[in-house]
Structure 1
Amino acid sequence: MKVLTAHPGLFNDDNVIESNISFVPFLNFLREKVSEEVADPRSSFYKIIIDKFESNPDTLKPISDSTDLSKYKEYLDLVTAAIFPVTTNTETDIYGIGVPYRFAIFYYSDLFKKLFSDDGKDLVAVPEGISVQQVKKDKITWLYKLILEKLYHFPMNYKNDIIHTLTAPDGSKRFVKVNIDPRFVDVKVKGDLPPLDYKLFCSKQVTPESMMNLLPPSMFELEGFVIWTVKDVTQSESLNTIKSLVMNMKSSNEVESYHTVERLIPTILGIPEITAHLVPFPVVNGKNVLEEQFATTDPILGIGNKKQQQHFFQLVLEQLKKNPNPLVIPDVDEAAIAAHPFLKYLPIKNIKSFLLCPITHKKEVLGMLELACSTPNALSADPLWRLQNTYPLLVLMLNRSMGILESRLNEVIKDQFTALQPAVEWKFVDAAWNYLLTPEDERKDIESISFDEVYPLYGAIDIRNSSVQQGNAIREDLQEQLELIRDTLVAIGQTIHLPLLEELLFKTNDFLNGLDNSLVAGEDMKVNEFMKQEIQPVLEHLCDGNDELKPLLENYFAKIDKTEGHVFKHRREYEESLSAINSAISQYLEKERGYIQQSFPCYFEKYRTDGVEYTIYIGQSIAHEKKFDNLYLRNLRLWQLSSMAHIARLTQKIGPKLKIPLETTQMILMHSTPITISFRSDERRFDVEGAYNIRYEIIKKRIDKVHIKDTGERLTQPGTIAMVYSYVREMEELKKYITFLQSKNILGPEIEELELEELQGVSGLKALRVKVNMDQQ
């Protein structure tokens, strides 16, 4: 029997500790059994084994794992007979006998070899999802716990189990628990054994690295063998995975969580050839609804036409509510489709066996589980009993989806309709209460909500040259697709001759020449219309009607984004990069929102453009139960400056991780005169009141791309903070904050004092500009 070992060089076990095969620890174990006062019924069998080994002195010596073990086969058979039950089957049971500490198995069942070796060669020693470094750490931990238990007799509570994910011979993914039993291993010391205090191990955690310094592995050697036994724990591990998914499911990972559960269900059922689909039916305003994100790949609902999708959804819902039992269609034929019209598209998807199971709780339909297979009669109701432990988790998952949808609905409602914050909500509550106190026949419009004498603080983080970057992404996508069309048309022309193809090739080259340097306004629309109206129909027709061209054209369509219908790579990279920056800024500001509210209640409004902008209002009229003082305003202005520095460093830090390099600029508007704001019911947001106050809004809208006077240079620059102001006293206050942050090495030493160009309706603006110390943490 060949010794199964891990890939050479993977662990270098020989360099860690000397280890040899030995039957002596096993024989000593049997001798103890034979000598026990209470006779073991198998003692006579054990004596036969002991006599057999003692009759051959070679079997009592250490054996190197490089030795040809075929001459020890009859002895290994006796070991196996003593250790494993007589009912053990080498073809169906999974077990092995290995060298201590090493990934080297010298006696094993046939199924062990199939599952744990690569084509009968190297041993698969590293489970899926675990690094080699982690396995090495686990091995050395196992070794030292063995040494401490065997030599120092410390009570060690250590597990010998490893969970493997592997592919069974039938193709299914299985979870197995591998137990490595070291009871037949002796640890021998080379020299004197150093003393160890057990209290040391009770009082603090001892790392493998510290143990290697305290007790080098070279001081010891191992003799004996370990027993590998394997138990299928697919059900329990799958359930644990689903539990974890449900507990950690949120809006951002909801769809992927469903996909993971769908991959686990065939494994739980033990039918790898089927596919599973789980679809929630949340309730909105008393009616079950279908979320498109769960229906795109569904056997019944995953069709292109949304109207048909909703029609089939209603048919399925009606079926599940009328009959809460599983619908089993062993053979999807015309009769089955006639009885259940929502199965209409199953044959087109090559589904020949189908099962539909409602997921219900308290007689309410929460969703459905579908099982599908391309083989007739592959499904029946029998395997469903294996889901009895999974079913409650599916109920929890679907209920969790309902909660996630409700949260999303509330977010939309608050974001789009009623963006109330705790700082100002009290005034809306007062207005609502006064409205309810008024007799119904005397009620008119609800009182207006306004806040007088509040100080505005405005900040803007903009993406530098965002329109240029977006234009470049569009041009590169169009150019890449036109080149793909050109190459495809040239290749088609070598197979068939059509003058129309030459005309399309001419247009394609003409568009390509126009895209060489820049993208003219409206050019992208012309190119997209050309590809949609002229190229797409021709290529689709040739793909359907010409088998010789089909591979070529399928290659073309494979490179086109299925959602957008175009090459979308560069635009997607730009959008992902823009989103990553905006998300990082938004998350930081959301976290800081809580911090600034602790000092004094204020209204914080944040919104996205190409970057992120925010406006903060603070004043006595907002906080009805706390006395306002200018120190809270100054504190907020200092926070505004320091937070902009943090954002500049944050965006620079994530810059190298972006697919498209993007830089941000930071700007603050200083406005020291209090204003009045009121809630506009039509737009569900706060706006300024009064002609003088409107000047503040005009400045906000027109300074985003303002230039320095007589230079043509943009005020906002990457790596800096620009502070726009109108009065000298505002400049002096800003300089105090700048000096403080310079002392903390947050801002650079230079301060630029700048005059700004005249803006429409606004004049006399000035600015300070200071660099951010990007190296400061």
Structure 2
Amino acid sequence: MEKSILDISGNRAFAFPVDAAISFRPFMAHIEKRAAEEQGLKKNFYLTVLERFREKPGVEDDIALEDIYRFEDLLEYLYAMLSPTLAAESDLAWGLAFPLQPILFYGTAPIYEMLTSQSENPEEYTNIKTPQEYHQERLKLMYSLILQRLYNFMPPAQAGQYHSWSRGSSGLLRYYHTAVNMDYLEVTVKGELPPLDINQLHPLLSAPEGFAELENLLPLDRFRFRGISVVTATDVTPLQAVENIRNIRLKARPGDSKSGYDDVVRSLKTLVQNDRIEFDLFPFVRVNNRGVFGYEKSGTGILFSVWGENNYTPDEFARNVAAYSAKPDTFFSADLDDPALLNVSFVQMFRKLGVRSLALTPVFYQGEAVGVLGMHTWGNDRFDEKVLALLKPAISPIAQLMQIYIDEFNLELENIIKEKFTSIQPAVQWKFNEVAWHILHHKKKNLAVESEPIRFEQVYPLYGAIDIRNSTLERNKAALADLDAHIMLLSNTLSALQEHHQSVLLDEMLFHCNKWRQVLEQGVLPTTDEANLNHFLNEEITAYLKHIAQQTPAARNGIEAYLDITKKPDGEVQRHRNALETSMQKLNAAVNQYFEEEKEKLQQSYPCYFEKFRTDGIEYDIYIGQSIAPKQPFDHFHLKHLRLWQLSSMAAIAKLTRSLLPEMTVELQTTQLIFVHNHPIDISFRTDERKFDVEGAYNIRYQMIKKRIDKVHIRNTGERLTQPGKIALIYFNKRDVEDYLPYVQYLQETGVLETDTEELELEDLQGLSGLRALRLGVKYE
């Protein structure tokens, strides 16, 4: 036994002035009562112990803490009577403490070792109390004793704390729960017992500060406490390790999977108390009910190495997941070098990586296999089946963790679908949620489900378009060049066939081929002629050549060479169109990526609906207003922010696309257009087309204008308004563009735009007249 004064709280408890002292009297009274109740050997034993206590001078007095070791022999009797008789002292965490104070003064070596050898960061693993929490706990203990002993009222209160500590060289934590027994404490009142309405105690003590309120009703200086507290510690390592895993599950946040898995692995090692055993979690994620590769590695990542993309194709992996899910078996081998496993194919992969012992346990959530828990050792380290049994209580929380990862994976897919492929963006998601709940509510109550429109009224529209200059002309040019190359190739092939095959049909094909060459030399190919030419090349000629190849073996090689060239997507007869398409994709991808990044930034200022459209270039609609975010006050400055962004982003895109010219096989330039509409409109979600559209006759006119202005000309000039290196702002009234003018000046003075501003009148369009425009030059460094 050890004799040492130790603060159990780790010096976290406030000083608490209370009339308390160590006393053997409550224990002696308890022994005297037990002796009166018992017969035989126990009675004699109790009387013998009681006699030894009474022989000690001063045993009936209050004992100061510093004097307690004068009664060491009596402390030995306390230990002998209050600890399990057959338990070894070296295995027992037991001690005696000052009444109602976290001060240990006598106990076994294990309890002292536990309380003085805590982990470096116990707060990460155990419920460490703050000084305020210690104060509240001690208040509960004191008033629990007062109410129980003097008022016959049993309030809910318990004393205890979890401790983590490391024992041995492994560095793994063990967990103990310390409990305080107050059976050998007595509480007495000084003077008369204060009256107390018991009926008021339940609501009072249910409040967070209920016990503190008792200090006003029952001041502690009216009471005295005497006796000894008994402290015992119980090893709860398995329970706490599993609880840690549950806490990780409860605290799981999107994106925290890696650190969460590390904590799980550490807890599993604690559970089996072996840091040489490694653990891995392998969740099954599925797309369209087919297993796909996950991306969150845990532990050593060995399961991802063996079953991952390096060893299996997606189809092979999906088949393996389906087969395993249909018949999920547990695998265990204490030694993978066992000759009996030489013919088990999947074991060889683990053996090559240096695995010695291996266990694979299927994990189920609500009856469905959600993954595998892997357990293995390296080199000469091994484990047996007894270790597997220790993992049983952890399987359920691990299954829940795997399901959380699967749910997060599915949510990521849903978010991408919403963002990329639907009009349900985060800014307007709340409205869809609201309408969906109304539909669900009506269904649950068996009421008729009425169609509820999703509308946003009085929102300000902003429209912009980035168009690829002369894209139609470039397409026609590339098509003519490829068709000319195709006709040339065909002409050479048909001419070569004349050496092996002679027929009037071949002469006719050569005639048509030469005729089409003459048409192409004119540099213009009407749509009808292009369709006829493609039919001639892809239908008539192909069928004819395949017929000749069957009839004339000597011509077969030449025909197959021709057909092979024409089938290749990147072959000679597709070269110009492929080059154009590649350049257009590079340009549009850069612009699209720019808007994707900017869209997120715009939402930080004020929620807005941002939708892009792919044409030859990229167009966008932005809607902003109070109805988009009813809970956030909308101010005109939010609209001003978007308009400044419109101008600056168009300048940035012009510079971006210009910088891509050296990387493009076909040099393409962009034009930048903004339509200024300074009046709010209403928009609604069209369920038939799954997109937002304007509403009302006046608002529809706004939509019509957008579709007609992309190729508008300057009045009386024949010049297109939109030009490379320029930003065009189209408007009707001068006051509509006034909000933009300060930003134009700002961007000109900061060197983003050229200083010249063109004010232009535009030609009349069908149903539109009076259009005007500002044209601004982008300044390139």
Aligned residue type for 1:93: L
Q: TM-score, normalised by structure 1?
A: 0.55
Matches within 5 A, 1:304-323: 306-308=309-311, 320=324
Shift of residue 238, structure 1, vs aligned partner: 3.8
CA contact (8 A) 1:301 1:309 kept: no
**Residues 53-85 of structure 1, C-alpha deviations (whole Å, 9 max, x = no match):** 11123222222212261x423211211222122
Alignment partners' CA distance in 2, 1:83 and 1:371: 42
Q: What residue is the counterpart of 1:197 in the other structure?
A: 197
| Aligned mate of 1:689, from 683, 703, 710 | 703
Q: What residue is the counterpart of 1:355 in the other structure?
A: 359
Q: Which runs of 5+ in 2 are unaligned?
A: 436-452, 464-596, 613-619, 643-675, 695-701, 711-726, 751-772
Alignment partners' CA distance in 1, 2:402 and 2:163: 29
| Bigger mean CA deviation after superposition, 222-231 or 189-198 | 189-198
Aligned residue type for 1:290: F
Work out the number of aligned pairs and report it. 525
Shift of residue 371, structure 1, vs aligned partner: 1.6
Alignment partners' CA distance in 2, 1:273 and 1:34: 53
Distance verdict in 2 for CA 1:45–1:677, change over 3 Å: closer
Distance verdict in 2 for CA 1:401–1:216, change over 3 Å: same
Shift of residue 90, structure 1, vs aligned partner: 1.1
CA contact (8 A) 1:190 1:219 kept: yes
Q: What residue is the counterpart of 1:16 in the other structure?
A: 17
Q: What residue is the counterpart of 1:266 in the other structure?
A: 269
Matches within 5 A, 1:231-250: 231-246=234-249, 249=252
| Bigger mean CA deviation after superposition, 267-276 or 348-357 | 348-357
Alignment partners' CA distance in 2, 1:74 and 1:313: 71
Distance verdict in 2 for CA 1:644–1:145, change over 3 Å: farther
* 1:411 equivalenced with 2:431 (yes/no): no
Alignment partners' CA distance in 1, 2:25 and 2:213: 32
Secondary structure of residue in 1 paired with 2:409: helix
Aligned residue type for 2:398: L
CA contact (8 A) 1:181 1:226 kept: yes
Secondary structure of residue in 2 paired with 1:366: strand
| Aligned mate of 1:372, from 373, 376, 382 | 376
Distance verdict in 2 for CA 1:326–1:145, change over 3 Å: same
CA contact (8 A) 2:458 2:680 kept: yes
Secondary structure of residue in 1 paired with 2:46: helix
**Residues 587-625 of structure 1, C-alpha deviations (whole Å, 9 max, x = no match):** x95xxxxxxxxxxxxxx62589xxxx994489xxxxxxx
Aligned residue type for 2:394: T
Matches within 5 A, 1:659-698: 671-672=678-679, 674=681, 689-691=703-705
Aligned residue type for 1:409: L
CA contact (8 A) 1:13 1:102 kept: no
Aligned residue type for 2:678: H
Aligned residue type for 1:84: S
CA contact (8 A) 2:285 2:293 kept: yes
Alignment partners' CA distance in 2, 1:88 and 1:634: 71
Shift of residue 398, structure 1, vs aligned partner: 3.0
Shift of residue 99, structure 1, vs aligned partner: 1.1
Distance verdict in 2 for CA 1:346–1:761, change over 3 Å: same
| Aligned mate of 2:332, from 315, 328, 331 | 328
Secondary structure of residue in 2 paired with 1:136: helix
Q: What residue is the counterpart of 1:708 in the other structure?
A: 742
Alignment partners' CA distance in 1, 2:456 and 2:728: 19
Q: What residue is the counterpart of 2:96 in the other structure?
A: 97
CA contact (8 A) 1:676 1:693 kept: no
CA contact (8 A) 1:296 1:303 kept: no
Matches within 5 A, 1:145-164: 145-164=144-163
Alignment partners' CA distance in 1, 2:365 and 2:118: 47
Q: What residue is the counterpart of 1:27 in the other structure?
A: 28
| Aligned mate of 1:640, from 627, 634, 639 | 634
**Residues 146-170 of structure 1, C-alpha deviations (whole Å, 9 max, x = no match):** 2332333332221223233333446
Matches within 5 A, 1:376-391: 376-391=380-395
Alignment partners' CA distance in 2, 1:264 and 1:705: 61
CA contact (8 A) 1:34 1:40 kept: no
Q: What residue is the counterpart of 1:135 in the other structure?
A: 134
CA contact (8 A) 1:21 1:100 kept: yes
CA contact (8 A) 1:353 1:378 kept: yes
Alignment partners' CA distance in 2, 1:685 and 1:426: 17
Alignment partners' CA distance in 2, 1:328 and 1:55: 64
Alignment partners' CA distance in 2, 1:314 and 1:633: 46
Shift of residue 708, structure 1, vs aligned partner: 2.0
Q: Which runs of 5+ in 1 are unaligned?
A: 428-449, 461-577, 590-603, 619-631, 649-668, 717-757, 763-777
CA contact (8 A) 2:261 2:299 kept: no
Q: What residue is the counterpart of 2:720 in the other structure?
A: none
Alignment partners' CA distance in 1, 2:217 and 2:355: 64
Structure label with greater radius of gyration: 2
Shift of residue 93, structure 1, vs aligned partner: 2.0
**Residues 323-363 of structure 1, C-alpha deviations (whole Å, 9 max, x = no match):** 84433343455979965666678689765433222325798
Shift of residue 700, structure 1, vs aligned partner: 11
CA contact (8 A) 1:678 1:686 kept: yes
CA contact (8 A) 2:458 2:681 kept: yes
Shift of residue 400, structure 1, vs aligned partner: 4.0
Q: What residue is the counterpart of 1:511 in the other structure?
A: none
Q: What residue is the counterpart of 2:775 in the other structure?
A: 760
Distance verdict in 2 for CA 1:31–1:7, change over 3 Å: closer
Alignment partners' CA distance in 1, 2:410 and 2:118: 51
Shift of residue 173, structure 1, vs aligned partner: 2.4
CA contact (8 A) 1:94 1:109 kept: yes
Shift of residue 644, structure 1, vs aligned partner: 5.8
Distance verdict in 2 for CA 1:14–1:674, change over 3 Å: closer
Distance verdict in 2 for CA 1:403–1:192, change over 3 Å: same
**Residues 703-726 of structure 1, C-alpha deviations (whole Å, 9 max, x = no match):** 99966279638999xxxxxxxxxx
Distance verdict in 2 for CA 1:310–1:252, change over 3 Å: same
Alignment partners' CA distance in 2, 1:695 and 1:454: 25
Aligned residue type for 1:671: N
Alignment partners' CA distance in 2, 1:146 and 1:704: 78
Shift of residue 50, structure 1, vs aligned partner: 0.8
Distance verdict in 2 for CA 1:424–1:185, change over 3 Å: closer
| Bigger mean CA deviation after superposition, 385-394 or 271-280 | 385-394
Shift of residue 378, structure 1, vs aligned partner: 2.6
* 1:301 equivalenced with 2:304 (yes/no): yes
Distance verdict in 2 for CA 1:100–1:330, change over 3 Å: same
| Aligned mate of 1:289, from 286, 289, 292 | 292
Alignment partners' CA distance in 2, 1:452 and 1:98: 70
Distance verdict in 2 for CA 1:21–1:417, change over 3 Å: same
**Residues 194-243 of structure 1, C-alpha deviations (whole Å, 9 max, x = no match):** 33332332332353443344444444443211111222233334444444
Distance verdict in 2 for CA 1:315–1:672, change over 3 Å: closer
Identical aligned residues as a percent: 16
Q: TM-score, normalised by structure 2?
A: 0.55
Q: What residue is the counterpart of 1:106 in the other structure?
A: 105
| Bigger mean CA deviation after superposition, 27-36 or 330-339 | 330-339
* 1:394 equivalenced with 2:398 (yes/no): yes
**Residues 463-508 of structure 1, C-alpha deviations (whole Å, 9 max, x = no match):** xxxxxxxxxxxxxxxxxxxxxxxxxxxxxxxxxxxxxxxxxxxxxx
